């Protein structure tokens, strides 16, 4: 383990963060790549905790995106003036 692993793991973690940012904006390929990298960084118990947390965040992000796309019902724009 030691310094070599720490440097390697830090590099993988940096990659995973970038991929997660891209995944948040809807890049499904980046989401899959982040998943693979995180599996390298985490053990089974840690991964289960992270998956649970990520699932909640992904669901919340999806709801926010859907909310931004849907027009508000019953709302009529007022003419300027």
**pLDDT attached to residue 41:** 74
| pTM exceeds cut of 0.75 | no
The domain spans of the chain are: 2-65
pLDDT digits (tens, 9 = 90+) for 14-70: 888 888 889 888 898 998 888 887 777 777 887 778 778 778 888 888 888 887 776
**pLDDT attached to residue 59:** 82
Q: Does residue 8 carry a pLDDT above 50? A: yes
What b/e readout covers 50-72, taking b as 16+ CB neighbours within 10 angstroms? eeeebeeeeeeeeeeeeeeeeee
């Amino acid at each position: 383990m030691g310094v070599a692993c720490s440097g390697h793991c830090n590099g993988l973690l940096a990659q995973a963060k970038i991929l997660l940012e891209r995944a948040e904006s809807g890049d499904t390929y980046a989401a899959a790549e982040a998943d693979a990298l995180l599996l390298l960084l985490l053990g089974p118990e840690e991964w289960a905790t992270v998956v649970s947390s990520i699932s909640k965040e992904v669901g919340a992000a999806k709801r926010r995106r859907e909310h931004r796309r849907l027009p508000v019902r019953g709302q009529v724009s007022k003419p300027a003036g």
